[in-house]
Structure 1
Amino acid sequence: MDIKDLFLTPIYLLFIYAVAFVINNRIRNKVIRPYFIPALNIKIIGAIALGLIYQFYYYGGDTYNYFKDSKVIWEAFLDSPFKAISIIFTDRQYDPSIYEYVRRIYFYVDPNSFHVVRLSGFFGLFTFHTYSLIAIFFAITCFSGMWALYKVFYDLYPHLHKKLAYAIFFIPSVFFWGSGLLKDTITLGALGWMFHAFYFGIIKRQYIVTNIVVMFLAILVVQGIKVYILLCFLPAAFFWIFMEYRARIRSGLLRFITLPIVIAISIPISYRAITKITEENTRYQLDNITATTKTTAEWLRTVGTSQGGSVYSLGEFDGTWTNMISKAPVAINVSLYRPYLWEAKNPVMLLSALEATFFLFLTVRILIQIKLSRLFSILTSQPILLFCLIFAITFSFAVGVSSYNFGTLVRYKIPMMPFFLSALYIIQSQAIKKKKKKIFQNSFQNNTLENPLVLKS
């Protein structure tokens, strides 16, 4: 950041908030309207804070590497706007007209990271390539997806609007790591739009064509940057579809019988979809995913150790499916409930430890309050809960088994955190609701026995 950030950022923020308040005033629902501006505020604060942390605490990092690469696009724009546009939309084939520029882009050889450079370069054209403003536009892009995500949960559970707002907008790790100039910001926003379009277009069948187009575009964004998010999302989504239709069966016995059928159908369809999505990405093809996981884990563990990072261990990993699956329980635990408080070695890690402790406390509290039979009933009667838990658990396994470093894990796991915490709040609410209903029924029965005239009245 430099003097340009201090001068231009306040000017742009005046315009951004003018537009934001216009949109806020047009939100018809008076219940969710109060969350719009605070949620936007926290994203913008997160974007600026992340930049400051990387500049004054880490002294560099991915966000500044993306910014540095996108500066080449700005320089090309000053020479010729056509060249800048050509770099943003290039198919990465040799083009002599832009070669002198792209050869200076470090992430040009990495298609996943280059997508971030493209977007940064695009926003840079309208912000005089100012870091804080580019980061803020990344945050706003992500916020749009998070707001879409919130609207889905509110549509299903309007009485939980306050807790769901916290779960989606105000988890510190999510608004911090999911707000700056990083891959995570783009994919988190795209995931929100994908979830919104899937729910309203496929589950509720509203504006089907529009929602399918939005979902397709969001899938392309996620696939281009972090395809493993899709590998966890799709099985949960297909399972949700079948469970939604199963829930419409009136016979309890028939619903019970169809549960294994639903599982049996969902697995091969998910397998086929995953195979199709990863056919051009050899790293994440099912035949190669264990080797990719092993390589990624070893690299991150080495980087974490060399930089004094907080490394964790799941035991020896030999790159086989059997070995990787055997680590599922500890990998899921490390993503959901670690680092523990005593494992925190710096302020950023302490923040993650506090969140993990809260997740653990809430999970244990729910398990104490609810019998397993009642929990099973709640989950099978509400398909979205199964979606959230399947996505959160499979995603936790995927990042937990491949990170081996708490510093990277805290970033990688943010896509599942809003879903997991929302599911916990919903389960807790359903349990309290059923408990109150049972108390009321028992009270009514006792009053009836003591006073038979109650029945006559």
Structure 2
Amino acid sequence: MELKDLFLTPLYLGLFYGLAFAFRKRFTNALTKKYFIPALSLKFLGAIGLGLIYQFYYGGGDTFNYFNHVKVVHAAFMDSPVIGFKLLLSHGEFDPETSRYASMMEWYRAPTEFFVIKVAAFFSLFCFNTYTVIGLGFAILSFSGMWAMYLTFLRIFPLAHKKLAIAVFFLPSVFFWGSGLMKDSLCMGALGWVFYGFYHGIIIRRNVPSAVVMGLLGAYIIASVKIYILLSFLPPALLWVFNEYNQKIKSSALRLILKPVFIGLGIIVGAFGATTLTAGDERYDVEKIGERSKINNYYLTQQVASGSAYNIGEFDGSASSIVKVAPQAIVVSLFRPFLFEARNPVMLLSALEATLFIYLTISLFYKTGIIKSLRLIAGEPILSFCFIFSIIFAIGVGVNSGNFGTLVRYKIPLMPFYLGALYIMQFKARAPRRVVTRRSPQVNNARKLGRLAVTE
């Protein structure tokens, strides 16, 4: 960070807040208005805090490596806008005009990292290449997607609007790691757009053109940065579609017969989509993903452990060995680090969140009963989607991370979905107890909140 960050950041914060208050009425209603500015403020806090932590606690890191590359692209724009735009539109190729600048960037031929650099360089043109303001721009992008995610959850289950706000906006790891100049900020925002686009465009078919655009844009960003998020999203999303259409069949016998067919189709289409999306990709090709997982886990565990490594057991990169360590990977992603494993303030925050997940999971399944809980999950498409996505993603990041320092960042896409599903289950499990003989306040309240949840 530089001296200009101190002068320009307050000015841009004032501008961004002015725009937020101006647009709040368009994107909120009586139910959601009170969450808009606090949630945005936390994203801004996370973006600024991320830079401060990396500068004064870690002494550097990826966020500043991105910014150093942005400086090169910004310098190219200052020398020649034509060359600058060539760099923004490039895909790792060299030509006489851009080679001078490309040779100064280590990540020029790293597609995922350079995509982040392109987005940041675009923001730099409007803020005098100021690190903190670029971080605020990433926070706004992330917030826009997460607000779309929250509105989607709210349309599905408006009764839990307070708890869902906690799940989406107020988890420390999510607003801290998912706000600044990092891949995670783009992915969290894009995941929210995909979730919104999928639900509105396919499940309820409302505002289809805008939903499709948002969903495709989010999918493009995720595919450009972390395609494994799409690989985790696709199978449960297809199962959700089949469950929705299966429930519309009036005959219970026919539903029972067709459900395995729908599930089988979902698995086939999901597998086909996964292999198509990753075909030829050196890092994420399905045929190589086991080998890459083994290499990543070994490197992160043995080379950069720094006292925060974990061990989920030995695996050789094969599919069977990943299945073998899957239970440990799920536990480590959802419920660790434990409080006694925290070695620094960042790990302590993650441990507190993991403790909340443990408490809610155990208390919910204990009070509701395991069988009833499983029936509830199987009978509610949104719960099936959230838990299956969380489990698939937990296995992926648990196997690949190897230490809690990276795991705390890698796992944030699953956290709103897992916690949101727990809160929805909590309300669903309590609902029968609130039914009265004359009129159900629960049902009346749900209808009222459902009307308020609509912003279109």
**TM-score normalised by length of structure 2:** 0.94
Contact 1:309–1:407 under 8 Å retained in 2: no
Counterpart in 1 of 2:29?
A: 29
1:214 Cα deviation (Å)? 2.3
**Aligned sequence identity (%):** 47
1:293 Cα deviation (Å)? 0.6
| Range with greater deviation from structure 2 (32-41 or 364-373) | 364-373
SS for the counterpart of 1:40 is helix
SS for the counterpart of 2:337 is coil
Match for residue 396 of structure 2 among 377, 395, 398: 398
Q: 2 CA distance for matches of 1:12 and 1:210?
A: 29
Q: 2 CA distance for matches of 1:228 and 1:80?
A: 37
Q: 1 CA distance for matches of 2:258 and 2:376?
A: 17
Equivalent residues in 2 for 1:226-237 (5 A)? 226-237=226-237
Counterpart in 2 of 1:254?
A: 254
Partner AA of 2:271 in structure 1: Y
Equivalent residues in 2 for 1:348-359 (5 A)? 348-359=346-357
Counterpart in 2 of 1:178?
A: 178
Partner AA of 2:48 in structure 1: I
- RMSD over equivalenced CA pairs, Å: 1.4
1:28 Cα deviation (Å)? 5.2
Q: Deviations over 1:195-244 (max 9, x none)?
A: 10010011111232332232222111101110110110000110000001
Counterpart in 1 of 2:244?
A: 244
Q: 2 CA distance for matches of 1:28 and 1:130?
A: 31
Counterpart in 2 of 1:407?
A: 405
Q: Deviations over 1:372-419 (max 9, x none)?
A: 332233223321111111100100000001111000000000000000
Counterpart in 2 of 1:72?
A: 72
Counterpart in 2 of 1:335?
A: 333
Counterpart in 1 of 2:214?
A: 214
SS for the counterpart of 2:286 is coil
Q: 2 CA distance for matches of 1:28 and 1:231?
A: 31
Counterpart in 2 of 1:447?
A: none
Counterpart in 2 of 1:364?
A: 362
1:319 aligns with 2:317: yes
Equivalent residues in 2 for 1:191-210 (5 A)? 191-210=191-210
Q: 2 CA distance for matches of 1:192 and 1:218?
A: 8
Contact 1:47–1:179 under 8 Å retained in 2: yes
Counterpart in 2 of 1:453?
A: none
Contact 1:200–1:207 under 8 Å retained in 2: yes
Q: 2 CA distance for matches of 1:132 and 1:286?
A: 37
Q: 2 CA distance for matches of 1:426 and 1:229?
A: 23
Partner AA of 1:85 in structure 2: F
Counterpart in 2 of 1:85?
A: 85
Q: Deviations over 1:245-300 (max 9, x none)?
A: 01112333433333322211111010111111111313222211100111111111
Equivalent residues in 2 for 1:284-299 (5 A)? 284-299=284-299
Q: Specify the structure having the higher radius of gyration (Cα).
A: 1
Counterpart in 2 of 1:431?
A: 429
1:304 aligns with 2:304: yes
| Range with greater deviation from structure 2 (248-257 or 218-227) | 248-257
Tell me the matched-pair count.
438
**TM-score normalised by length of structure 1:** 0.93
Q: 1 CA distance for matches of 2:387 and 2:86?
A: 42
SS for the counterpart of 1:414 is coil
Contact 2:279–2:286 under 8 Å retained in 1: no
Counterpart in 2 of 1:450?
A: none
Partner AA of 1:136 in structure 2: L
| Range with greater deviation from structure 2 (381-390 or 176-185) | 381-390
Q: 2 CA distance for matches of 1:28 and 1:297?
A: 43
Structure 1 unmatched runs, 5+: 445-457
Q: Deviations over 1:20-40 (max 9, x none)?
A: 001113345211011111000
Q: 1 CA distance for matches of 2:85 and 2:266?
A: 42
SS for the counterpart of 1:216 is helix
Structure 2 unmatched runs, 5+: 441-456
Q: 1 CA distance for matches of 2:210 and 2:2?
A: 42
Counterpart in 2 of 1:187?
A: 187
Counterpart in 1 of 2:55?
A: 55
Q: Deviations over 1:5-31 (max 9, x none)?
A: 001111111111111001113345211
Q: 2 CA distance for matches of 1:234 and 1:310?
A: 32
Q: Deviations over 1:339-388 (max 9, x none)?
A: 00110011100110000000000000011111233223322332111111
Q: 1 CA distance for matches of 2:371 and 2:250?
A: 20
Q: 2 CA distance for matches of 1:238 and 1:359?
A: 26
Contact 1:247–1:381 under 8 Å retained in 2: no
Counterpart in 1 of 2:449?
A: none
Contact 1:201–1:207 under 8 Å retained in 2: yes
Contact 1:74–1:84 under 8 Å retained in 2: yes
Q: 1 CA distance for matches of 2:28 and 2:268?
A: 42
Equivalent residues in 2 for 1:263-282 (5 A)? 263-282=263-282
Q: 2 CA distance for matches of 1:31 and 1:213?
A: 26
Contact 2:239–2:385 under 8 Å retained in 1: yes
Equivalent residues in 2 for 1:127-166 (5 A)? 127-166=127-166
Greater RCO (Cα-Cα under 8 Å, separation 6 or more): 2
Q: Quick one: structure 1 residues 233 and 168, their matched pair in 2 at CA, closer, same or farther if it must change by over 3 Å?
A: same
| Range with greater deviation from structure 2 (91-100 or 23-32) | 23-32
Q: 1 CA distance for matches of 2:378 and 2:318?
A: 33
Partner AA of 1:407 in structure 2: G
